[in-house]
Amino acid sequence: MVPKDHLLRQIDQAIDFSFIYDLVEDSYCADNGRPSLDPVMLIKIPMIQCLFGIRSMRQTIKEIEVNLAYRWFLGLILEDKAPHFTTYGKNYSRRFQDKQVIEAIFSHILGLCLNAGLIDPTEIFVDGTHIKAAANHHKYINQEVEAQAKFMSDQLEKEIAKDREKHGKSP
């Protein structure tokens, strides 16, 4: 159902997301409490939001409910319910807020994308302004990947805080 050339298929083929389980292992307990959202899904949801320009987590979840490509990428079958947007926010806050793990995950993903040729390291976009990299671009690849991971993490935290304020909750 998802075309072979769809962006999410390309990402899924280029990136093995299983490394995330090792990075978040200490944040999960297998035999205590209710089952949690899959940590890989917690990372893939904001990827969908960023890649497809969806403005809010609430809208992202609504899109996941009806978009087969998004559901496929997240490993959801048709009968599975998409996570509620507040469930996503709570899980993200409890597991990743004030931790370096989210930056490590995004740095690793960006590095994999770079190695797979999905990212052109000679060009970066900052605040919509096009900047062409100079000199030896291989020297700055790690710094660019880490900076982008930090930026994406900060954007996600701002979005969560804005949504919480909108619904009368403390940020």
**Per-residue confidence (pLDDT) for residue 170, from 0 to 100:** 75
For 156, residues 6+ apart whose C-beta sits below 8 A from its C-beta are 46, 92, 102
DSSP label at residue 76: -
Query: Does residue 119 surpass a pLDDT of 70?
Result: yes
Instruction: Tell me the average pLDDT across 116-125.
Output: 72
Separation of first and last alpha carbons in the chain: 39
List the helix and strand counts (H, then E) for the chain. 8, 2
16-20, 31-35, 68-72, 135-139: which has the highest mean pLDDT? 68-72
Residues pairing with 132 in the sheet: 123
pTM of full prediction above 0.75:
no
**Cα separation, 9 vs 22, whole angstroms:** 23
Instruction: Tell me the average pLDDT across 40-65.
Output: 91
Kindly tell me the burial class for residue 27, based on how many C-beta atoms sit within 10 Å of its own C-beta (0-12, 13-18, 19 or more).
Answer: middle
Q: What percent of the chain has pLDDT over 90?
A: 23
- What are 69-114's pLDDT values in tens digits? 999 999 999 999 988 888 877 877 777 776 688 888 888 888 888 8
- What are 124-151's pLDDT values in tens digits? 655 544 455 555 555 555 666 677 777 7
